[in-house]
Amino acid sequence: MMRLHHLVLAALVIAPALAGCREGADTGAGAMREPLVIYSGRSETLVEPLLQLFREQTGIVVEARYGSDAELLAQMREEGAASPADVYWANTTGALVEADAAGLYAAAPESLRALPDAFLPEAGRWLPATVRFRVLAYSPARVDSSTLPSSVMDLPRQASLRGRVGWTPTYSSFQDFISGMRALHGDDATGAWIEGMKELAPRAYPSNTPMLEALVAGEIDVALTNHYYVYRVLRDTARSDGRAPVAVHTFAPGDVGNLALVTGAGVLNTSSQPELAQRFLSFLLSAAAQTSAAETVHEYPVVGGAALPAYLLPFERAVSLSPTIDLARLTDLEGTLRILRDADLL
């Protein structure tokens, strides 16, 4: 079983773990012949700011290769022992668990496992980096929030939203959400939910950003997404009348529509420089990196001492809304993809 630790308020003393990540201590590392190679299931816009901060702090050369979690998992399996990757930074919980089950990760030392306060796997071969929560984004100008359902499972019954719903079937976080639905409700109920949603004639988008742009533009009225995309819109979109163009609807506590999704990373067995890779993981869990992720990406930190923007729902409240799922049950990504293919969504 996975251990779900609530975020503690006392700051962790992480300076010793990061002592090797300071300028002046990296003369040798910065001169290494090989770059640190990171396979990232996270998009470049989310990852590059942190990579640049790491480069500036350490002088270490970092090379990132981007792709979907499914693509990168397949690539690493194909490459086998010849893979050049040192770190796999996954966008979804399911991909983290699947990579672990496939034996791709090396064990993390206890010094790293001691850093996160939340969502630490018992096996300790990958480490959580941030947390996102599934939500239903909606237009407060066009939708009365009191009419929205208390469960995402009832969303297909909202006939008034026909043709006005957005979703992202090909995107990894949506697939994680479907895996969570399968874990809680089973394949039959999940398949029935998908077919019911299709009756609403939802609009499919390749990712969350264009979907939220469509919501603001009035092309759709509601969107199944992650919470931080809403806050990116609120940060970047201002209205002359001061009204917010988009708002967040959360479902009843324990509903899969509020599912917590973990991003994380681990050192790969193929790494030729595991100590350097571990230093990168230590950096991801530093107060500076965690605060940066919270303030610039609007995701939740997993270590104490990282500042949380006041506009975000308190972490413990957000966690209390999410269902508790043994994350080991999210390993069957292929099963989720099969259900989506059977529904002609992939």
Tens of each residue's pLDDT in the chain, 346 residues? 333 333 332 332 333 333 333 333 443 444 445 899 999 999 898 899 899 999 999 999 999 999 999 899 999 999 999 999 999 999 988 899 889 989 999 999 999 999 998 888 888 899 999 999 999 999 999 999 999 999 999 999 999 999 999 999 999 889 999 999 999 999 999 999 999 999 999 999 999 999 999 999 999 999 999 999 999 888 776 554 557 889 999 999 999 999 999 999 999 999 999 999 999 999 999 988 999 889 888 999 999 878 788 888 888 889 999 998 877 777 788 899 999 999 999 9
Q: Are residues 40 and 118 in the same domain?
A: yes
Q: What is the pLDDT of residue 242?
A: 57
Q: Are residues 26 and 123 in the same domain?
A: yes
Q: Are residues 236 and 282 in the same domain?
A: no
- Total domain count, the chain: 2
Q: Are residues 223 and 248 in the same domain?
A: yes
Q: Is 237 within a domain?
A: yes
Q: What is the pLDDT of residue 9?
A: 27
Residue 267 phi, psi (nearest 5): -80, 130
Q: Is 317 within a domain?
A: no
Q: Is 289 within a domain?
A: yes
Q: Are residues 22 and 127 in the same domain?
A: yes
Distance CA 87, CA 282 (A): 12
Q: What's 200's DSSP letter?
A: T
Q: Are residues 84 and 166 in the same domain?
A: no
Q: Is 293 within a domain?
A: yes
Q: Are residues 197 and 266 in the same domain?
A: no
Q: Are residues 183 and 228 in the same domain?
A: yes
Q: Are residues 205 and 253 in the same domain?
A: yes
Q: Per-residue b/e over 286-309, b at no fewer than 16 CB within 10 Å?
A: bbebbbbbbeebbbbbbbbbbebe
**Structural contact between residues 128 and 118, judged by C-beta atoms closer than 8 angstroms:** yes
Distance CA 20, CA 245 (A): 45
Q: Are residues 217 and 143 in the same domain?
A: yes
**Structural contact between residues 5 and 117, judged by C-beta atoms closer than 8 angstroms:** yes
Q: Is 329 within a domain?
A: no
**Helices (H), ranges, the chain:** 27-30, 44-58, 69-79, 93-101, 110-113, 172-199, 208-217, 227-236, 274-284, 287-292, 315-321, 333-342
Q: Are residues 86 and 20 in the same domain?
A: yes
Distance CA 24, CA 30 (A): 10
Q: What is the pLDDT of residue 13?
A: 30
Q: Is 76 within a domain?
A: yes
Residue 190 domain boundaries: 132-259+335-342
Entry pTM: 0.82
Distance CA 46, CA 198 (A): 31
Q: Are residues 275 and 308 in the same domain?
A: yes
Q: Is 318 within a domain?
A: no
Sign of dihedral through CA atoms 318, 319, 324, 327? positive
Q: Is 201 within a domain?
A: yes
CATH number at residue 118: 3.40.190.10
User: What is the residue whose two structure tokens read 């941030």?
Assistant: 130
